[in-house]
Amino acid sequence: MENDVGKSVDNQMDKYIVTIMGKSESQMDIVEKSTKSGKKPWSFVAIGLAVLLLLMTCAAVALVILYASSRGVLETSDQGDREAFQKAKILYKSCMNETLIEQRDSLPLLEALRMVGDWPVASADWSKTKEPSWSMEENLSIMNSRFNKRVLIDMFVWNDDRDSSRHIIYIDQPSLGMPSRDYYFNGGNYQRVREAYLQFMITVAKMIREDKNVSKDDSFVQEEMAKVMELETEIANATTPAEERHDVTLLYNKMTLAELQEKFAFNEFNWTFFIQRVMSSVSVQVDPEEEVVVYGMPYLQELKAIISKYSASTIQNYLIWRLVIDRVSSLSRRFKDARASYRKALYGTTLEEARWRECVSYVNNNMENAVGAMYVRETFAGESKRMVRDLIEKIREVFVETLDELQWMDEASKEKAREKAMAIKEQIGYPDYILEDHNEKLDLEYANLNFSEHNYFENILENLRAGAQKSLKKLRERVDQDVWIIGAAVVNAFYSPNRNQIVFPAGILQPPFFSKHQPQALNFGGIGMVIGHEITHGFDDNGRNFDKDGNMLDWWSNFSALHFKEQSLCMVHQYGNYTWELAGGQNVSGISTLGENIADNGGVRQAYKAYLKWLEQEGKEPKLPGLNMSHKQLFFLNFAQVWCGSYRPEYASQSIKTDVHSPLKYRVMGSLQNFEAFSEVFHCEKGTAMHPAGKCRVW
């Protein structure tokens, strides 16, 4: 699951939303229905096995079911719908209108390029008509505030880590065109991706030149885009690797804009002017005394030397490329075909996602409360909220009790940990107001959005503008701790250190994670483990830096802090020694995945102990017929099942560098190798792979 420390992305929540199942639609086709007669009635044993198969199979299709449910509500008539639902359905229809998207071809993109100073590589006379008035501050601010795209400099508004009640401006190193900085330097598959990426740039630039009736000049395009690649490689080299950005307390550097200008001036770049241009889009004024938090100090120190080496046209070519690459999927088929080789190198496939799924995903990501309301009305059982809240209390209680077992933590730090655990707030299912027909709040969220069924590309630009403005205008607003950080139709769960809050959307409250109809062993092994995982995030290597109120504050004694690092180092070595053959024999990063590994280990331990307490209070559950497994074994079986999935080698190579989670099989193996109860339940001999003599434990 996810926590929300990483904030610097184009759509902040995009970073947090990950699919859990990793399954394709084709995997639904497990059983073939038949109308033939003459079959024997099912035996009691067969029924039991079928029930178990159904429960286990749900893991493969949970996400597909969510998408299908969302598709169903988006494709119904909007007659009589409230305004928010109507807009969601219009957006979906515009996305599904592939005929019109083909007819319009590149025209909407060409119009968008004019808004941000055009693309020199695809212009006949850019150096004469545009370059004399070109301003880096101006163009970066338009990219940020109009297109929600932060290039070269990642400037955004978020909760102040040291004061969770207020918002502040952050300055950080930027994202890159490819998923990881490793793609710019390493060999093997990374080199193949790099070569395909450059060719993708060149091909699209040629297409835009042709569409603008600019004379053909292939050598010029190749030279210009090679410079863009060179520039982005230098930017990638200046960014700090993720493993070296693991301690948020070391990243946080607060200063005024005047101090920022003094420390990081480059090429007469005016920081106050740039940030004021961004903030003016939401009518917010800043001055040189405005405080900002700089996360990317090493990067900014390198940026001056990089920028001074490149012309305005090369920098502008790069800015526009970063805008174009995001919009290719919104254009006609020929643009998607242009990226096929890049997709093949990066993901191992050229196959595009089914159009309806792509459109459902897009609408849900951009109108999450509208889609969430329709999804909840259609599929969610209200009683689930109460049952999950009860599970949260049971597992929280176990976490607090388990603190007494820890020898590495002194009593003063344990008491602070108890206070923080008891203060964790929870959000379950969905915000109540989205189902209240007479509450205007849902419609007001989308009041400034104006969509057309005929203009999908422009609808996307509307969403980008609205997303940027929603974030930026928070600068002068107090933090609302009750606002949901994600929509209801999401198969995931979250912990926010700035809020000390756990969130379980309606989308994850379904089998195999949870059902009021399935044995409690499966519920505790599914959603119970997820609950424990999210609670433990409050005490992982990042969450432990925040207090019960969500402020970055050191509440640890020196003794406990030192021993926390020692306990954590055991897991760093354990997971760092897993070699993933599918990713070309690379080892998992024990440092980058540490927070998730701590949460996985703590989550399964707490959920299992909570299940044992439930058994003591409620008595044994009936055994599933035809299945020679105890309910304790079923607990672990469902824990493993929810992480079942597969990777293509190309995607594995990407995931091992970009995902803060360990690969799925190591999430399961690593946690269970450390848990004595698993060895006891499955009778593993000591010294075997799943019952090693040395075990790691933090919580």
Q: Report pLDDT digits (tens) over 189-222.
A: 899 999 999 999 999 999 999 999 999 999 999 9
Q: Residue 552, SS3?
A: strand
pLDDT, residue 65, reads 64
- 150 and 276 part of one domain: yes
pLDDT, residue 13, reads 30
Tens digits of residue pLDDT in 627-662: 889 999 999 999 999 998 889 999 999 999 999 999
On the question of pLDDT at 52 being above 70, the answer is no
Averaged pLDDT, 378-401: 93
Whether 34 maps to a domain, the answer reads: no
pLDDT, residue 624, reads 81
Averaged pLDDT, 152-175: 98
Active-site residue identified among 224, 445, 534, 650? 534
Which has the closest alpha carbon to 489: 353, 379, 355?
Answer: 379
Asked whether the beta carbons of 366 and 467 are under 8 A apart, the reply is yes
Q: Which of 71-85, 278-292, 346-360 has maximum average pLDDT?
A: 278-292
- 527 and 621 part of one domain: yes
pLDDT > 90: percent of the chain: 82
Annotation says 81 is catalytic: no
CATH code for position 292: 1.10.1380.10
Averaged pLDDT, 87-102: 98
On the question of pLDDT at 276 being above 60, the answer is yes
Sign of the C-alpha dihedral, residues 606, 607, 611, 617? positive
Q: How far is CA 626 from CA 44, 47, 50, 638, in A?
A: 7, 8, 10, 17
Whether 239 maps to a domain, the answer reads: yes
On the question of pLDDT at 60 being above 80, the answer is no
Number of independent structural domains in the chain:
2
pLDDT, residue 357, reads 94
- 410 and 559 part of one domain: yes
Tell me which H or E stretch contains 494. strand 494-496
- Beta-carbon contacts of 308 under 8 Å, excluding residues fewer than 6 positions away, are 266, 267
Lowest-confidence segment of 24-28, 348-352, 386-390, 583-587 by average pLDDT = 24-28
Whether 55 maps to a domain, the answer reads: no
CA distance 544 to 560: 11
- 533 and 602 part of one domain: yes
Lowest-confidence segment of 307-321, 506-520, 578-592 by average pLDDT = 506-520
- 286 and 202 part of one domain: yes
- 254 and 402 part of one domain: no
Whether 92 maps to a domain, the answer reads: no
Strand ranges of the sheet holding 154-160, from the earlier edge strand across to the other edge: 154-160, 163-172, 291-294, 253-256
Averaged pLDDT, 664-671: 97
Phi, psi of 158 (to 5 degrees): -155, 175
Domain that holds residue 290: 107-330
- 528 and 626 part of one domain: yes
pLDDT, residue 27, reads 22
CA distance 596 to 530: 11
Residues counted in the chain = 699
pLDDT > 70: percent of the chain: 91
Residue whose entry in the numeric block shows the structure tokens 């940030």? 275
Averaged pLDDT, 56-70: 60
pLDDT, residue 379, reads 85
Tell which wins on pLDDT, 167 or 18: 167
- 410 and 298 part of one domain: no
Active-site residue identified among 2, 368, 600, 650? 600
CATH code for position 421: 3.40.390.10
- 172 and 273 part of one domain: yes
- 309 and 401 part of one domain: no
- 259 and 392 part of one domain: no
- 559 and 413 part of one domain: yes
- Beta-carbon contacts of 548 under 8 Å, excluding residues fewer than 6 positions away, are 416, 419, 420, 423, 500
Whether 551 maps to a domain, the answer reads: yes
Dihedral through CA 362, CA 364, CA 369, CA 370, nearest 10?
Answer: 90
Whether 301 maps to a domain, the answer reads: yes
Mean pLDDT for the chain overall:
90
Of the candidates 314, 330, 346, which is a domain's last residue? 330
As beta bridge partners, residue 495 has 3, 502
Annotation says 534 is catalytic: yes
Whether 66 maps to a domain, the answer reads: no
As beta bridge partners, residue 496 has 501
Whether 217 maps to a domain, the answer reads: yes
On the question of pLDDT at 38 being above 70, the answer is no
Tens digits of residue pLDDT in 423-473: 999 999 999 999 999 999 999 999 999 999 999 999 999 999 999 999 999
